[in-house]
């Protein structure tokens, strides 16, 4: 039965669809004019949306259409005293046809217009809004200019918004670019147009970066762009077309956009390390990129050798080489085995990362470090190594390892693996860029980078192994080695401390306490073993084993702290909500509400330099000022609406609610401690 209905339905669709596609008449973009409220209040502003749905295969244009095309034009017919603002567009898509760039919408989208109502409008009267919209729609082949005469009947009222209307507008609002509070700068450097955008390094963005210029003529639209994150800024580079006095545009990452304006100035090129990441942007030149990234990885690996986390291990191995002397032993073989250990471990970690990447998981290098269990394991491992270096106990060498390390190979291989695994916490600052490149490059190139990293870590050792002259420069073994070993335990202990801190960041105080407890348990076991070893007792490891296992059992218990628990603004600050604001004001408390976002440099500067300072915190506490924080990082439309209502397009926004006064005071975007202290003392 079901299939008969299916066949009938399919046939019906065929008959319905066929005439529709045959006539193929417009409008090719269906447009509906929707007001956020049908009962706007006198003197208020109401947002209108052109809810547009392009037909399949057709596209409509952004405010700057690109190489060809036209933006929409609106001609309003409004009651006296009312005025309509400019069209505000959501972030567009790129569409290259025959080498020409088009900035378009191929899926449903909505442009916004702010309509200002006259103060004298009488409640209850009709308020007709009419608009003639001229716009262009095209397929890849043809273009059709279309017209739409739209109207919506409003009635002057109280401005109430229905929930379903609100939800619709919120969804559209989320697609609008967010205004980046800070000013961008651009420079035309020879043939290169370079745009510098302040953007905190800590703020995360996803998707490919692209700069959509609103101002026409500055750049060649169809030319490729290079978007690089370089510390606290984003640099966009693309071939220049001509110099202009100022440029407006939208910097987009995926569907997330930031509206900005740029003035001429000096924009230094991005740093080499940042470039290594960006050059990895998909392009034909990836072989060169891979080569550069490989070299960068080798250099980074060499630098890693002097990091506190690797240096002690390296030194251990160097000591063994010294022990091996010039002729006894096999320094070359040992060096090669160590290298193999390092490189294979790096490749294995890289391979795992690439496998995860292929699986669509959003991971970065040191991904294993985002799991507190891995951190705890490393903490235990590093604590053990530190105690060993400090001389608390000696590592027994199983007979097979002994045999292997008499030829030097097995032991060296294991040391190499250890060095590589332990080195990953240190990769951040040096290797972040090259490894970032590895994440977007084709997998063979990515693996080459991991190999390069391993090679870099192993390089000094390889040199020692192969150049006897260097080895001869090394001091002769002696009692100083034990002292050196003890000294080397210090950076290792520091590494343990750093890991404990990371654990605390990830798993909270409970997790850190658990980790330190586990480390203490393990240390106790190792100490006990050391005592037995000193006495020459048989089975010296017997008491240590259960304690070590107990310490490892802590791995099963440690959990990441809930996300969001980690945003410690100023003491006593609460998340912003209008309900909470109303409640606090009803209680007669002064309220300081601030709106911030991770990608807003000005916000961060104000928070670090003013709001979160001791003096301000104290003043707030003393005068019982309630602090509400609105985090607009993800473009929360509820906050967006609230911000819009205060005549600010974006963050930062600082509001001061004095007890008793109806309207908040909008504070300037650059705060001073004195200003906040004065306000809280009622001055």
Partner 1 sequence: MRKLVCTGIALACVAAVAVPLAAEPGIGAVAPHFRAFDMAGKIVNLSDYRGKTVVLEWNNPGCPFVKKHYESGNMQKTQAAAVAQGAVWLTINSGAAGKQGHMSGPEAQKFVAGQSARPSAYLLDPQGLIGKGYGAKTTPQIYIIDAKGRLTYNGAIDDKPTANKADIAGARNHVLAALGEMRAGKPVSVPESRPYGCSVKYPD
CB of 62 to partner 1, least distance (A): 14
List 82, 97, 340, 348, residue binding partner 1 (CB under 8 A): 97
H-type alpha helices, 325-479: 331-358, 372-390, 399-406, 409-423, 427-440, 443-466, 468-473
3-state DSSP assignment of residue 195: strand
Q: Mark 237-266 with x for binding to partner 1 (rule: CB under 8 A) and - for no binding.
A: --x--x------------------------
CB of 150 to partner 1, least distance (A): 18
Segment 143-182, which members bind partner 1 (CB under 8 A)?
143-145
DSSP secondary structure code for residue 609 in this structure: I
Total residues in contact with partner 1, by rule CB under 8 A: 25
Dihedral sign from CA coordinates of 507, 510, 512, 518: negative
CB of 72 to partner 1, least distance (A): 11
Q: Which residue has the tokens 């150049």?
A: 467
Residue with Cβ nearer partner 1 (135 or 599): 135
Residue with Cβ nearer partner 1 (146 or 578): 146
Kindly write down the DSSP assignment for every residue of 432-472, as one continuous string: HHHHHHHHHS-HHHHHHHHHHHHHHHHHHHHHHHH-HHHHH
List 11, 17, 43, 73, residue binding partner 1 (CB under 8 A): 73
Residue with Cβ nearer partner 1 (106 or 220): 220
CB of 269 to partner 1, least distance (A): 16
CB of 65 to partner 1, least distance (A): 9
Interacting span for partner 1 (CB under 8 A) from 141-149, 176-184, 416-424, 591-599: 141-149
Interacting span for partner 1 (CB under 8 A) from 6-14, 61-69, 351-359, 536-544: 61-69
Q: Which residue has the tokens 């190489």?
A: 67
Give the tokens for residue 80.
């006296």
CB of 191 to partner 1, least distance (A): 6
CB of 20 to partner 1, least distance (A): 22
Q: Does 284 bind partner 1 (CB under 8 A)?
A: no
Are the C-beta atoms of residues 37 and 161 closer than 8 Å to each other?
Answer: yes
Q: How many CB atoms lie within 10 A of CB 448?
A: 21
CB of 266 to partner 1, least distance (A): 23
List 14, 22, 141, 660, residue binding partner 1 (CB under 8 A): 141
List 10, 21, 163, 191, residue binding partner 1 (CB under 8 A): 191
Pairing mode of beta strands 59-66, 100-105:
antiparallel
CB of 433 to partner 1, least distance (A): 25
List 40, 42, 54, 69, residue binding partner 1 (CB under 8 A): 69
Q: What is the C-alpha to C-alpha distance for residues 646 and 627, in angstroms, rounded to an integer?
A: 18
Q: What is the C-alpha to C-alpha distance for residues 371 and 246, in angstroms, rounded to an integer?
A: 46
DSSP secondary structure code for residue 124 in this structure: T
List 37, 52, 102, 617, residue binding partner 1 (CB under 8 A): 102
Residue with Cβ nearer partner 1 (141 or 614): 141
The CB-side HSE value for 238 (13 A sphere, CA atoms) comes to: 22
Residue with Cβ nearer partner 1 (222 or 348): 222
Are the C-beta atoms of residues 67 and 101 closer than 8 Å to each other?
Answer: yes
Q: What is the C-alpha to C-alpha distance for residues 257 and 399, in angstroms, rounded to an integer?
A: 62
CB of 94 to partner 1, least distance (A): 14
Interacting span for partner 1 (CB under 8 A) from 40-48, 65-73, 170-178, 639-647: 65-73
Dihedral sign from CA coordinates of 368, 371, 376, 379: positive
Segment 337-366, which members bind partner 1 (CB under 8 A)?
none
| DSSP bridge pairs for 97 | 100
CB of 188 to partner 1, least distance (A): 13
Q: Does 134 bind partner 1 (CB under 8 A)?
A: yes
| DSSP bridge pairs for 655 | 593, 666
Q: What is the C-alpha to C-alpha distance for residues 517 and 216, in angstroms, rounded to an integer?
A: 63
Q: Does 80 bind partner 1 (CB under 8 A)?
A: no
Q: Does 484 bind partner 1 (CB under 8 A)?
A: no
Q: Does 216 bind partner 1 (CB under 8 A)?
A: yes
Residue with Cβ nearer partner 1 (217 or 396): 217
> Percentages helix, strand, coil for the chain, rounded to the nearest 5?
45, 20, 35
Q: What is the C-alpha to C-alpha distance for residues 105 and 89, in angstroms, rounded to an integer?
A: 10
CB of 131 to partner 1, least distance (A): 16
Q: Does 68 bind partner 1 (CB under 8 A)?
A: yes
Q: What is the C-alpha to C-alpha distance for residues 328 and 315, in angstroms, rounded to an integer?
A: 19
List 4, 21, 25, 99, residue binding partner 1 (CB under 8 A): 99
The CB-side HSE value for 569 (13 A sphere, CA atoms) comes to: 25
Q: What is the C-alpha to C-alpha distance for residues 314 and 594, in angstroms, rounded to an integer?
A: 50
Closest CA to 412 of 473, 331, 482, 481: 331
CB of 142 to partner 1, least distance (A): 5
Q: What is the C-alpha to C-alpha distance for residues 592 and 619, in angstroms, rounded to an integer?
A: 12
Please measure the distance between the N-terminal and C-terminal CA atoms of the chain and give it in whole angstroms.
80
Q: Does 98 bind partner 1 (CB under 8 A)?
A: yes
DSSP secondary structure code for residue 425 in this structure: G
**588 torsion bin: left (phi>0), alpha (psi -120 to 50), beta (else):** left
Interacting span for partner 1 (CB under 8 A) from 62-70, 313-321, 520-528, 594-602: 62-70
The site for partner 1 (CB under 8 A) is made up of 67-70, 73, 97-100, 102, 134, 136, 138, 141-145, 191, 216-217, 220, 223, 239, 242
């Amino acid at each position: 039965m079901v299939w008969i209905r299916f066949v009938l339905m399919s046939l019906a669709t065929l008959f319905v669809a066929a005439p529709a596609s045959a006539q193929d008449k417009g409008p090719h973009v269906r447009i509906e004019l929707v007001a956020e409220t049908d009962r706007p209040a006198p003197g208020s502003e109401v947002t209108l949306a052109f809810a547009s749905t392009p037909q399949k295969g057709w596209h409509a244009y952004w405010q700057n259409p690109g190489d060809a095309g036209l933006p929409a034009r609106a001609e309003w017919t409004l009651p006296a005293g009312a005025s309509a603002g400019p069209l505000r567009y959501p972030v567009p898509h790129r569409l290259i046809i025959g080498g020409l760039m088009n900035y378009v919408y191929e899926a449903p989208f909505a442009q916004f217009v702010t309509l200002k109502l006259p103060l004298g409008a009488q409640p209850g009267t009709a308020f007709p809004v009419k608009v003639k919209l001229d716009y262009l729609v095209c397929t890849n082949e043809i273009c059709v200019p279309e017209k739409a005469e739209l109207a919506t009947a409003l009635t002057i009222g109280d401005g109430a918004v229905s929930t379903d209307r609100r939800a619709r507008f919120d969804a559209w609002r989320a697609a609008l670019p967010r205004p980046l509070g800070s000013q961008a700068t651009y420079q035309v450097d020879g043939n290169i147009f370079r745009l510098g955008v302040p953007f905190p390094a800590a703020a995360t963005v996803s998707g490919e970066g692209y700069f959509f210029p609103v101002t026409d003529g500055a750049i060649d639209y169809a030319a490729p762009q290079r978007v690089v994150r370089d510390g606290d800024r984003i640099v966009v580079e693309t071939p220049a077309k001509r110099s202009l006095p100022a440029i407006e545009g939208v910097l987009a990452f995926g569907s997330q956009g930031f509206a900005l304006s740029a003035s001429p100035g000096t924009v230094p090129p991005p740093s080499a390390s940042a470039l290594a990441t960006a050059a990895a942007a998909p392009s034909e030149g990836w072989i060169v990129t891979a080569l550069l990234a490989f070299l960068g990885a080798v250099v980074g690996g060499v630098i890693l050798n002097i990091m506190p986390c690797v240096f002690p291990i390296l030194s251990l191995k160097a000591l063994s080489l010294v022990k091996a002397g010039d002729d006894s032993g096999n320094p070359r073989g040992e060096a090669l085995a160590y290298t193999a250990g390092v490189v294979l471990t790096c490749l294995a970690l890289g391979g795992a990362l690439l496998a995860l990447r292929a699986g669509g998981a959003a991971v970065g290098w040191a991904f294993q470090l985002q799991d507190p269990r891995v951190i705890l394991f490393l903490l235990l491992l590093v604590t053990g190594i530190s105690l060993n270096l400090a001389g608390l106990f000696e590592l027994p060498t199983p007979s097979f390892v002994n045999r292997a390390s008499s030829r030097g190979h097995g032991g060296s291989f294991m040391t190499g693996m250890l060095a590589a695994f332990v080195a990953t916490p240190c990769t951040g600052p040096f290797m972040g860029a090259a490894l970032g490149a590895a994440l977007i490059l084709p997998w063979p190139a990515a693996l080459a980078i991991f190999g390069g990293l391993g090679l870099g870590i192993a390089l000094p050792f390889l040199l020692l192994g192969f150049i006897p002259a260097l080895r001869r420069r090394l001091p002769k073994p002696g009692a100083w080695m034990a002292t050196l070993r003890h000294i080397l335990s210090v950076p290792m202990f520091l590494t343990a401390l750093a890991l404990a801190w990371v654990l605390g960041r990830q798993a909270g105080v409970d997790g850190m306490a658990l980790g330190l407890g586990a480390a203490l348990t393990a240390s106790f076991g190792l100490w006990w073993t050391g005592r037995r070893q000193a006495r020459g007792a048989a089975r010296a490891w017997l008491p240590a084993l259960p304690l070590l296992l107990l310490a490892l059992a802590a791995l099963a218990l440690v959990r990441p702290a809930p996300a969001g628990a980690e945003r410690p603004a100023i003491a006593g600050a609460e998340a912003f909500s209008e309900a909470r604001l109303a409640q606090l004001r009803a209680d007669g408390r002064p309220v300081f509400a601030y709106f911030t976002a991770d990608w807003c440099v000005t916000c961060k500067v104000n928070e670090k330099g003013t709001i979160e300072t001791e003096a301000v915190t104290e003043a707030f506490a003393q005068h019982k000022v309630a602090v509400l924080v609105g985090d607009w990082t993800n473009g929360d439309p509820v906050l967006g609406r609230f911000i819009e209502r205060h005549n600010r397009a974006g963050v930062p926004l600082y509001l001061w609610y004095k007890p008793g006064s109806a309207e908040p005071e909008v504070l300037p975007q650059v705060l001073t401690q004195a200003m906040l202290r004065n306000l809280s003392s009622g001055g």
